[in-house]
Homo-oligomer: A and B are copies of this chain.
Amino acid sequence: MTITITAFNRSPDGGKGLARDTRVRWALEETGLVYQTRLLSFEAMKEPAHLALHPFGQIPTYEEGDLVLFESGAIILHLAQHHPGLLPVDANARARGTAWMFAALNTVEPPILDLTCVKIIEGDKPWAQDRLPLVVARIRHRLDQLTMRLGDAEWLDGAFSAGDLTMVSVLLRLRPSGILAQFPALDAYVSRGEARPAYQRAFAAQWAINGPPSP
């Protein structure tokens, strides 16, 4: 059955791989599935045809036969549940791997997205400079807690899982700010994720679309 995802026709990050299609590409590559990509402009994302697939007008979506999914977390979990390579076999370990996905998306990512809010979306507001340290402090608090839990382990709970894929993807958003580099254990954890051949293929696939044009 053909798998089709959607992605930006030009990601606003200029190829850093931070748009959410990269997470889904990575999951697809870990499972070895073949997929095709349909590229969308910002305008097309707000049109009825795309809103029928994604009620919030975002990317990525996932189509596989009759199934249409939105939310990158849901897509990654769907792949992890139906294909080997992203969740362990043991039922309890599967539940824990899934818990790390939710932790990444619901506990760690919101303060990190607030950094984009204070720096870019509200970057021209008079409060931006005064509010920035509060936002950074919230991020650092979460990173301290995550550092404690990771300890000197390679991954968050046993073997690499969809939980790590999601957490690494979320933490990668912090690299441009320099904050990730202040947490060496997490920086190394993220680097282990980036070193995986499946991540490399996913990154290259989005770079081919979003990277600077060849001279």
Residues of A within 8 A of B (CB): 51, 55-58, 66-71, 73-75, 77-78, 92, 95-96, 98-99, 101-103, 105-107, 109-110, 113-114, 122, 125-127, 130-131, 134, 142, 145-146, 148-149
Contact = CB atoms under 8 A, between A and B. Distances in A.
A41 to B, nearest CB: 19
B51 A66 contact: no
Interface majority SS on A: helix, strand, loop or mixed? Answer: helix
B103 A105 contact: no
A111 B130 CA distance: 20
20 contacts: A51-B148, A55-B146, A55-B148, A55-B149, A56-B145, A58-B107, A66-B92, A71-B99, A71-B102, A74-B98, A77-B98, A78-B95, A78-B98, A102-B105, A106-B109, A110-B113, A122-B134, A125-B130, A125-B131, A127-B127
Given A74-B98, A127-B126, A67 B92 contact: yes
Nearest to A101: B74
Among A92, A109, A130, max chain B CB count under 10 A is at: A92
B55 A74 contact: no
Contacts of A69: 95-96, 99
Given A95-B78, A127-B126, A103 B145 contact: no
A5 to B, nearest CB: 14
A125 B126 CA distance: 12
B74 A107 contact: no
A6 to B, nearest CB: 14
A122 B117 CA distance: 15
